Structure 1
Amino acid sequence: MSSQQAPGRPVLPFWRRLLWGALAVSFITASSWLGFHLSENQGIASLRAESNHRLDLFASAVEGMVKRLEHVPATIQLSHDVLNLLRDPANPRRVQAADSYLRRLNAHVGSVSAFVLNDRGVVLASSNTDRADDSRVGEDVSFRPYFLEALSGRVGRHFAIGVRGEPGYFVSHPIRDGARVIGVAAIKISLEPIDQTWQMVGSPALLADANQVVIHSSQPGWRYTALVDLPVERRVDLLLTRMYNSMRIRPFPLSPLLWIGEDGQLVDSRGQAGPQQLMRSTSGGGMLVLSRPLDGMDWRVMMFLDLREVRTAAAFNGMMASVAAAFLLLLALFIAQRRRIQRQRLESRQLLERANAELEQKVATRTQDLTDANDRLRKEVADREQAEQTLRATQSELVHAAKMAVLGQLATGITHELTQPLGAIRTLSGNAIEFLKRGDMKTLSGNLGIIARLADQMGSIIHPLKGFARKSDPAPARTDVAVALGNALFLYGLRLRKEGIEVVNLCEPGAVTAWCDANRLEQVLINLVGNAIDAMANSPTKTLTLAADYEEADPDAGPPRWARIDVIDSGAGLDEKTLAHLFEPFFTTKTQGAGLGLGLAISRDIAREFGGDIEAHSRPDGGACFSLRLPAAASQETLTA
């Protein structure tokens, strides 16, 4: 009876049972394989993410140690002792002065050595002249790449092993006398501080240069090995430049790369020749190599990570995946027939509820994002409005400060103009008292009339200054250009007469009107006239020409759009370099203390505030011309109407 099947139960053929058994075994095997590889990839990704942070910190530390002194050679050329030495290399006093300067500089920055070479590559001065074994004076290093690059006008950066076997990072900079390179300043930076940072990595690591040669490593056996096969011509170049001195460059112990990723490379170390400590650490489990280039350098740092623990954990997870697959397979076979329809309905309902919940969550998230974005936009608008108000207030303060500076410069001239009327008033008032005592009313009346006229004359001198010094917000209105020019010339009247400058004013009152603030326009014209007077200080012919006219003044085209004011001097003119930086803040061609270089920058900002601009160019017959363009009053009034 045991060999007979129960009635009503179908008997599967042997081949079908064998097929289902094979499929079950394949499913379990595939689950184990998939679990192993997923766990391995996740472990490698986790290890890579954790190690990338350490590698970034290490790369930043190496950059800070190596590049912190790169600016030093550029400062050496600023020393007068070094320039004097290159101009007169045979003078012992100049050699001693340059050695002393380099010795102090080297002690201050903490480099291995600092030295100066002539244009033939011979060391003329060194910071280590007190050390007979490392003086460098008299050595010919013209074969070094850092000297050749600096001699060609570029900054040289190279690793090299010195003639005494000490590795270092050499940085060089050309020393110019005018436009000619007369020498090279170089500094040697030690790589020994990097030894203190290997523990930051926590794994074997190395530092390779542009030739893919290991120049530093936490594993001493890896140093001065090549990561790639060096061509014969490259090896010849290295021998000629003696970059690695007489060191023999051996192949790197790990050569075959099984897989190269975006930020790392997986190396199978099994069966590879290499240091014993490397073979013990990997134990046939392979390793992950992470690489980072150093910013601004041709160097690269690499870190080697042991994957033994990752693959052990992956094997355990693969076994657990196979057990889980077998359990799920048995469970599926047990409940497949009884709950298939119910499971399908339940899964459909769950999927629908999940989709609904996700949709509601997305709607809520998008709504919150829009609300946050709206709040940020309101805040940005408020911040920009506040910044604009602050900028306008600052500009007004700068304009007022510039006015006060001009008034300070004109104080002497105003005092001179007022001294004569005051003296005359004092004399005439004394005479009036005497004539009053005598009863000479006719003469007394004449003296009082003269005193009144002198008082009016003093008022005419002071009145323009009151309006110029007033601090007020800009208010665009119709402004007569001739009046503004007249007020600017009035403030410089004494200086123009004193320096013998001929003024040619081609602007008639009422001929040209601009749409701007009259007070601000006077400030701009005062700055341009003052610059023109300064430009003619050493000129044999001193002529200041002022002109104003309209642009686009065709009667058929309607009212003119622009009013142009030209301030022309007969000075030395403007070269291309000066024109390129003329309107930059704090740029000035005057002597130190004679100006801050803000006048033209402020004047251009004032002109642009009213929709205009300032342009400058040199005149073919000598001198410079500054053209101030402002909207014409007629065009603005037409637009307003």
Structure 2
Amino acid sequence: MVLAGAAAYHFSARARLAALRIDTQHDLDLLATAVDGSVTRYAHLPSAVGLNKDVLDLLRAPQSEQESRQPVANHYLEQLNDYFGGLAIFVLDMQGTVIASSDWVYSDNLLGQNQKMRSYFQAAARGAPDRYYAIDETRNEAGYFFAHPIRDERQAWRVVGVAVVKVGLAELERRWLPQDLPVLLADANGVVVLASVPEWKYMALRPLSGEVAAEISASRQFADHAIRPFPVSIALEHAASAQVVSFPEVPTLAGERRLKTRDFLVESRQLAGTGWRLTTFADLREARADAATHAALAAAATGCVLLLALFLMQRRRTLKSRAEAQLLLERANAELEQKVGMRTADLTAANERLRAEVVERERAEQTLRAAQDELVQAAKLAVLGQLATGITHELTQPLGALRTLSGNAIEFMRRGDQATAQNNLQIMTTLVDRMGEIIDPLKTYARKSPARPQSVDVAHALRGALFLLDQKLRRAEVAVDNHCQPGTALAWCDQNRLEQVLVNLIGNAVDAMGDCPVRRLRLEAEAGSAGRLRVRVIDSGPGLSDEALAHIFEPFFTTKPAGVGLGLGLAISQDIVRDFGGDLSAANHPDGGAVFTLDLPAAGESQA
């Protein structure tokens, strides 16, 4: 068992280490891309500075005129720096003196400083762009410098100055600090310039040669910071192979967050844009824990093989016990069958009683539906009674016109003017048709008929409901905003009953807006999901309280004053909608007022 566990641990550790390295390399690629992009996006900014006319005029001017031209160049560099968000943008003459800077407004600005010893100035003065990491001694502030030569076309493109952009690395540090594992960024010499473990900063991952150390000291690249050796040896030249390191002490991240392990898998990646190397340290605890688990499972499997031998030895004794158990089982089975027979008889009697109750409930449901139909018809007739005054007004004018035209026709016929009499009769025919159009929706609405689902254009049903409530809408001065166009929304239901529901909803909306300064009724119809259709009635009233939303569809619940309503309209409307496979719901609109939504089956899918 020990040998099996050791072998399983060895192979599992290798497999988990390979998988961990793949994941670490993927994360490292993403982080390297982000770091490289954050730093190198300023690479072309110095070349733009060299094209500015004010900067070129400052470099061309003699020493006596530079003071007067300097403010214009300073303002340009300040605006450019504010737009791109760098630390500073400054211009040096060929003697290495800063003659214009974006930080001119600060007391510790760079104006007048001489950076002749900086390697990036020397390279740019020779005509080659350069990049360089250093600590600014004036502010003790680390940054990455991009330098570019400024050439004058009037002097045969001779280098007349150097444009420098200083980029801060605080954003990169903020991106690393929340991480739970160490990350470091080293320059081309292997010196750590950024690290999520603060004590690693300005440590050398490899020994520095005497020439490199002398150059760093002479240029004061890292100011007064001493370059110390890194706690562990990292083979940067062999990045293609996995490397496991163990620190002498547990590293402590920024914010005094102490890690729980000293052993890490090291992965490194060279950044093409800056020449820096990004290195991450992955925790090995989970991989080693999985390997230990697999070792324990292998040892347990070996133990199971040994137990199998014991099982075979006990087989004969088990077969004997099984025969005795079989006899006891047969006896218990006989007793169980007897009890099942008795229980079946009881269930049969209970089933007969249940059938009788079902028949009684069906009779009660038929009686309830008949009562509901009567209530629906009574509600229709109540609405028709309310509309009687408005219909009388609509018919009074055509009747008066008919009386006048008929008298005129008799007089013209007596005089022999047949053409004028015929014209009057044609006008009378038009008026009679108009009166028929007014009365026909009332006959259809008042007719008591069983529900016959069919393809119904919701726009026609809304038009009929608005016609029936036209006088009420006018008296209440309600502005109707109807967004349902004919032919765009087809529902599978009974048109007469759908109109009944819409009349109830629109009438309730008008009542709710009675005391509101703005009275607007919005009607919408749109296709839903899975062959459904949604019709919305939205008012600009005060909306519904929490208590009203909880009981709005209960019979005899009403928010109207006593004697105005019975509280049956919404309950009946919901039952009508559910009869043809729909639903009615209420809610408060986000812009104010209440919204009632009809969820109806669309015509096409229901017919199929």
TM-score relative to the length of structure 1: 0.44
